[in-house]
Structure 1
Amino acid sequence: MVKIAWGSVREATQLDCIKALVVEFIATFLFVFAGVGTAMAADKLDADSLVAIFAVAIAHALAVAVMISAGHISGGHLNPAVTLGLLAGGHITVFRSALYWIDQLLASSAACYILHYITGGLTTPIHSLGSGVDYLQGVIWEIILTFSLLFTVYATIVDPKKGALDGLGPTLTGFVVGANILAGGVFSGASMNPARSFGPALVSWDWTDHWVYWVGPLTGGALAGFIYENFFIIRSHVPIPTEEDNF
């Protein structure tokens, strides 16, 4: 069973942590900027719904693939659910996870505020449940979609025995994000990312169904991280050596 390290406030003053937070902010900002910007462009062009969701899926897939690679210093999480999934697997401390969450939410908010300004005040589209989709269905959608995202992250990036997949992790993770948006976009919005949902909701000040995009992704991410790390990865050491108390 993986032991999860608490970490300490000293991490916030360490150079590697500061660099990681800066890179995580930049990578998350650029990811959200591309993703939300594409959704805004589709609305402005009044694109056909199928064309619009395809464009949004492609934009998110490409942005995720590139930003995970570009954000290698921080791990390129871009997503509180990914951070929680890696925390559940013992790959990041609780304290640093909290710093990442704050960083990701600030980056998403900044990207959406800037988009709102440079598009002349266009609405930033929020994630909300599709017609006929109730809360429970929406949560289940988000759990499954985010589980598949984190399962892919673990299988192609985290797992030390990824074999022929070595180096393809960011691209394959982008593929699964795009596929999930095509599958679930019209039903739950296919957020898979509380930060991606938070920025548009904050700028538009529209919190409709917003809790779904915390409960679903965080549950799916934590489950995937815990299951993959404990049942599919064999290690001879604890992932994060620490002098802090563990649980």
Structure 2
Amino acid sequence: MIKPLDSNNTICHISGGHLNPAVSLSLFVTGDIKLLRAILFIIAQCVGAACGSAILKAMTPADKQGDLGITNINKSLEPIQGFIVEAVLTFLLLIVIHGVCDSRRKDVKGSAPLAIGLAITACHLCGIQYTGSSLNPARSFGPAVIMNLWPNHWIYWAGPIVGGVVAGLVYKFIFKFRKGESDSYDF
């Protein structure tokens, strides 16, 4: 079972703190949330992203809006390369999230939010020059909807979803502790 990051957080008690469709789908794959909950989370995440982008657009002078945060791949990349970057980076992020938030694990010490924040930072530093490093379909969806700009938008859904689902499967079948398993190893 995935534990919420911080029960004092505004939304963690509802969603466990994930605001990313790739996270919701990955948690569905591992069995930590049900399909209906994952679907409702994804809808809420996308509506929230669109609302946030609409507010940002309303607050930003027209001459400063530009593309208003649209994510797009580097001009020297092929779309498939952008897809691979988004999938790999999202996979890495989700493996960290699963590892530090698995309440069955007793070997993880320290701060889950710090570990996740550092993973996000590392992924963004690695990927921003290639794809803008979205790793979150909702984050890319919000500005695309409000600005009605959709260049290579499929990359920002397909890449993170594939990366998240693969991370969920890898964690579930290779790393996840099961009931009755020991969390210590005799080497």
Q: Same fold (TM over 0.5)?
A: yes
Write the letter of the residue equivalent to 1:140.
I
CA RMSD of aligned residues (A): 1.9
User: How far apart are the structure 1 equivalents of 2:175 and 2:116?
Assistant: 18
1:160-171 equivalences in 2 (<5 Å): 160-166=104-110, 168-171=111-114
Tell me, what secondary structure is at the counterpart of 1:163?
coil
- Provide the residue aligned with 1:128 in structure 2: 72
Q: Tell me the CA shift for residue 92 of structure 1.
A: 0.6
- Provide the residue aligned with 1:96 in structure 2: 37
Contact 1:125–1:200, Cα closer than 8 Å, also in 2:
yes
Q: Which runs of 5+ in 2 are unaligned?
A: 181-187
- Provide the residue aligned with 1:221 in structure 2: 164
1:1-247 equivalences in 2 (<5 Å): 69-73=9-13, 74-121=15-62, 122-123=65-66, 124-158=68-102, 160-166=104-110, 168-236=111-179
User: How far apart are the structure 2 equivalents of 1:134 and 1:224?
Assistant: 24
More helix by share: 1
Q: Deviations over 1:68-113 (max 9, x none)?
A: 9543212011100000000000011111111001000000000010
Write the letter of the residue equivalent to 1:135.
P
Q: Tell me the CA shift for residue 164 of structure 1.
A: 4.1
Q: Tell me the CA shift for residue 227 of structure 1.
A: 0.8
TM-score, normalization by structure 1: 0.65
User: How far apart are the structure 1 equivalents of 2:56 and 2:36?
Assistant: 31
Q: Deviations over 1:204-229 (max 9, x none)?
A: 11100100000000000001011112
Q: Deviations over 1:130-186 (max 9, x none)?
A: 0211111111101100001100001111252153435x1112111111111111101
Tell me, what secondary structure is at the counterpart of 1:206?
coil
Q: Which runs of 5+ in 1 are unaligned?
A: 1-64, 238-247
User: How far apart are the structure 2 equivalents of 1:183 and 1:164?
Assistant: 25
TM-score, normalization by structure 2: 0.85
Percent identity at matched positions? Answer: 36
User: How far apart are the structure 2 equivalents of 1:193 and 1:119?
Assistant: 23
Write the letter of the residue equivalent to 1:96.
R
The count of residues paired between Structure 1 and Structure 2 equals 171
User: How far apart are the structure 1 equivalents of 2:95 and 2:106?
Assistant: 12
Contact 1:156–1:162, Cα closer than 8 Å, also in 2:
no
- Provide the residue aligned with 2:185 in structure 1: none
User: How far apart are the structure 1 equivalents of 2:69 and 2:121?
Assistant: 18
